Amino acid sequence: MSKIRAHPCHRRFILLFLFLPLAVAAQEPTASPFEETIKPTFETQKQARTYVLDIPAPRGQITDRNGMPLAQNKLSYNLTIDFPTPLNFSDARALDFARAKIKVAEKALARSLKISDAAILRHYHNRGFLPLEIAQDLSEAERKKLPGRLAAGLSLKPVYIRYYPNESVAGQIIGYTGKTSRNADSIIQNGQVLWPETEGREGLEQTFNSMLTGRHGKYKVTFDRDGRKTSERIVEPPVPGYNVVTTLDLHLQEMAEKALAAKARRGAIVMMDPNNGDILALASWPTFDPNEFIPSISSAKFQELQDDPDIPLLPRAYRSAYPPGSTFKVAVGLAAFQSGTITPDDQYECVPEMNVGNTVFHNWKHKDRGSLNFVQALTESCDTWFYQVGIRTGAGPILDWAARLGFGAKCGIPLKGEAEGRLPNDTYMKATHGRKILGGDIANLSIGQGDLLVTPLQMAQAMAIVANGGTFYQARLVEQVQTVSNEIVAAYSVRAKKTIDASDLTMQQIHTAMLDAVNAGAGTAHQASLDKVSVAGKTGTAQWGPKEKERTAAWFAGFVPADHPQYAFAALYEGEVGSTVHGGSAAAPMIGKILRQVYNEKGEEQKAEKAEKAETEETDESD
């Protein structure tokens, strides 16, 4: 399993904590014979007493499979006012002291600092021996504006805050943190934290919050009978949180998000290792930068994210489900072969249209394509061929084999809100439509339409099963959790859940058809083909949403290399309301762009762009 080294930031924070008293009050003495003999009392702040306060620990890191940081910590500096002890100022004098320091700070920073008199006095009365923060998370430019030696009574307090070095990359998967409380201003009590902690609010930050949080340290400060600070020291250093090592490949994740950004207004791309179930990329578009939530997000900015019609806070890759269109024909073919409905030599007519009951069902091609076997039908994605075979096979086997591929059930990743998709069986149909499944429903099911819904993650998982010959691995997003010193606390092993028990003949037929769909002349996914590596895949195009707001979901899913799969993938492109896009011209090019980079096929991008332009004009090659 992968192991990561302790990031320098953790060691830096431990050193920071060891010298924290210097940051809090640099001029105070550090030892006193009173320290261990004074008994604490809280009757007044002008009596002898001792406080033991908690120091929040730095959160653990989140990394990709190679140890590249996805979430870490960085030093931030807050400008503070330090009131002298003993705390015997009158209210007027305390305000004069604070206002004078604020005025100096405003001049240095060239901006206004809004601190109310009430807030100043509340802090002075309740916790005056601790620094009063007047400006948080100073920028580098602001720190440079400050003089080399701050005026007496002002200091820079170093604290650590969460930092996402790759900005928006994998933002929806990592999630973000938020403060557990506002800055305290009540009477200080033993055991209080020196500053507010943070907790995970979304994504892996939330799921693994207890492991990432770490253990508090202890800071002890003592006062004599006159209220003068006599000593302060760290009696127990904080212990950083554990590190979470994911299965993600940062480079692949970046490529997937860039491909989406270049092509799609909304969509998702998932890439998995079909040999063990590892999720290598889990990309959704649009996304957001979790740094916007650090140290806290403004209500206006959060409202902007929530009101964005493209919903950047929605991780479409696993929390949204869509009709799969013709990509589902892989499951239909699997069911047809395994139920004995068809053999490799059986042929059915690929006609422009056919009647099912009282409804006319059309092929997406308008010409009669003649008699086709399974490989030819999947290559061309002939709808009318699959209507016939699907109805002969029946809903039961199709739904059963779809379930064996993982459709209709959550993949079980450690992120909340994963959609389970939908397999429309009789129970669902009776509850929703008041009837059992009819011939027209099976026809729709046979081309991935109707009430059927799948997530991009489920689709990639199904392609991984097909790619490796039938082994269903548990989808894995996290490899392990470990300490800063690389001791493993929790490990999530590769686990084969089951095999789907499909025959070698069936798998060979499906592999051949998917290979031809990308590379044969009649195939629909030419824009994903590579010169030196064989790609196997299936395009899909499906209508999605209510009639008045209907969109098109364009898919491309498969695996590569076809003869020895390293990657299984699924790409989903959300079309605009009222517009029509196709899997071959919208989704396949995104995967093609990624694979050309992965396999370093230089000079192929320009060729691919020309092919994309040509095929976009020929909708007969864009199912």
Note the pLDDT tens digit of each residue in 393-439: 999 999 999 999 999 999 999 999 999 999 999 999 999 999 999 99
The position carrying tokens 């209510």 is: 546
**Domain holding 131: CATH number?**
3.90.1310.10
Residue 204 in this model has a pLDDT that exceeds 90: yes
Task: Classify residue 3: in a domain, yes or no.
Answer: no
Please tell me whether residues 237 and 255 are part of one structural domain: no
Please tell me whether residues 430 and 330 are part of one structural domain: yes
Task: Classify residue 350: in a domain, yes or no.
Answer: yes
User: What gap in Å lies between CA 237 and CA 489, rounded to an integer?
Assistant: 21
User: Which of 230, 246, 262 delimits the end of a domain?
Assistant: 246
Residue 98 in this model has a pLDDT that exceeds 80: yes
**Quick one: average pLDDT of 342-359?**
94
Amino acid 4: pLDDT: 54
Q: Helix (H, G, I), strand (E, B), or coil: what is residue 185?
A: coil
DSSP calls for 332-354 = HHHHHHHTTS--TT--EEE-SEE
For 37-58, letters b (16+ CB in 10 Å) and e give: ebeeeeeebebbbbbebbbbbb
Under the banding of pLDDT at 50, 70 and 90, the label for residue 602 is low
**Quick one: average pLDDT of 94-99?**
94
Q: How many domains does the chain have?
A: 2
pLDDT in tens, 434-465: 999 999 999 999 999 999 999 999 999 999 99
Please tell me whether residues 409 and 270 are part of one structural domain: yes
User: Which of 200, 228, 246 delimits the end of a domain?
Assistant: 246
Residue 126: which of 154, 98, 87 has the closest Cα?
87
Under the banding of pLDDT at 50, 70 and 90, the label for residue 619 is very low
DSSP secondary structure code for residue 115 in this structure: -
Task: Classify residue 99: in a domain, yes or no.
Answer: yes
Under the banding of pLDDT at 50, 70 and 90, the label for residue 183 is confident
Phi, psi of 505 (to 5 degrees): -65, -45
Please tell me whether residues 452 and 521 are part of one structural domain: yes
Task: Classify residue 475: in a domain, yes or no.
Answer: yes
How many other C-beta atoms are found inside a 10 Å radius of the C-beta of residue 609?
Answer: 13
**Of all helices (H) and strands (E), which one includes residue 616?**
helix 604-616
Task: Classify residue 2: in a domain, yes or no.
Answer: no
Please tell me whether residues 104 and 132 are part of one structural domain: yes
**Domain holding 262: CATH number?**
3.40.710.10
When mean pLDDT is compared across 65-69, 156-160, 163-167, 474-478, the lowest value belongs to 156-160
Amino acid 47: pLDDT: 58
Amino acid 20: pLDDT: 44
Could you tell me the two tokens for 4?
A: 């990561």
**Quick one: average pLDDT of 365-372?**
90
Please tell me whether residues 421 and 333 are part of one structural domain: yes
Amino acid 147: pLDDT: 80
Please tell me whether residues 150 and 286 are part of one structural domain: no
Report whether 498 contacts 472 (CB < 8 A). Answer: yes
Report whether 177 contacts 139 (CB < 8 A). Answer: no
Q: Helix (H, G, I), strand (E, B), or coil: what is residue 283?
A: strand
Distance of CA 148 to the CA centre of its chain: 42
User: Which of 246, 278, 294 delimits the end of a domain?
Assistant: 246
Residue 127 in this model has a pLDDT that exceeds 60: yes
Please tell me whether residues 118 and 78 are part of one structural domain: yes
Q: Determine what percent of the chain is predicted with pLDDT higher than 70.
A: 89
Please tell me whether residues 222 and 306 are part of one structural domain: no
DSSP secondary structure code for residue 239 in this structure: B
Under the banding of pLDDT at 50, 70 and 90, the label for residue 604 is low
Amino acid 173: pLDDT: 97
Query: Can you give the pTM of this predicted structure?
Result: 0.88
Could you tell me the two tokens for 504?
A: 């070698």
Whether the bond into 237 is cis, omega within 30 of 0: no
Q: Which domain holds residue 443?
A: 250-621
The position carrying tokens 């056919």 is: 354
Please tell me whether residues 230 and 257 are part of one structural domain: no
